[in-house]
A = this chain, B = another copy of it.
């Protein structure tokens, strides 16, 4: 069970886009209804086929949104970093979740009832546009992803995922190590390949001096080359 935190959170700084658009009355309602939950590493946040109830905002940690495909093979659809919103699409579509979400590492998530969000945005054009824009951006990314995952070869797909991880979570103090430690299996599921192929292609990149790998730590040595591999597929 996820732990319920009772500490006081300053929503004006953690949910700035939404907070800014609300009236005082609405802000009070938000404060009263928002809950903050903690999840342990690998804990499930929501499951496929569940009924969506909350808008979620990741305060701390890393989350993967994934889908189980043909023959149980799972596929990471997107990854969430702090202060990104998630979990609202299915509610708006009036559908159960078609994806699941779980914590890559210990997480803190703010949950806000979707009913509340919907009443807010029905009266607030700016808030409505905020969600419309997020959905539109995500839909564009999904369309792009269809082409990338189906047309690029394994090297291109892995290179792309590594760059994506770097842009999402940034680098450590050394200016080279990607700031997320994934299992090879997750790297594979993000790049639509088998685990063996992720391992093999990663070793190839190391031999070609594009990366340096130490367990789950991945250092980008030659980003230019990595980007080129991603581009040409």
A residues in contact (CB < 8 Å) with B: 67, 69-71, 73, 75, 77, 88-95, 98-99, 118, 121-123, 125-126, 128-129, 131-133, 135-140, 142-152, 156, 192, 232-233
User: If the complex has contacts A75-B146, A99-B143, are A125 and B123 also in contact, measured as CB distance less than 8 A?
Assistant: yes
In the complex the two chains form, is A125's CB within 8 Å of B126's CB? no
Helix, strand, loop or mixed for chain A's interface?
Answer: helix
A145 to B91, CA, bound (A): 19
From B135, B146, B148, give the contact of A145 (CB < 8 A). B146
Stoichiometry, as copies per complex, reads: 2
* Most chain B beta carbons < 10 A, residue from A69, A70, A143, A152: A143
In the complex the two chains form, is A67's CB within 8 Å of B140's CB? no
A201 to B139, CA, bound (A): 31
A88: chain B residues within 8 A (beta carbon)? 136
Smallest CB gap from A149: residue in B: B150
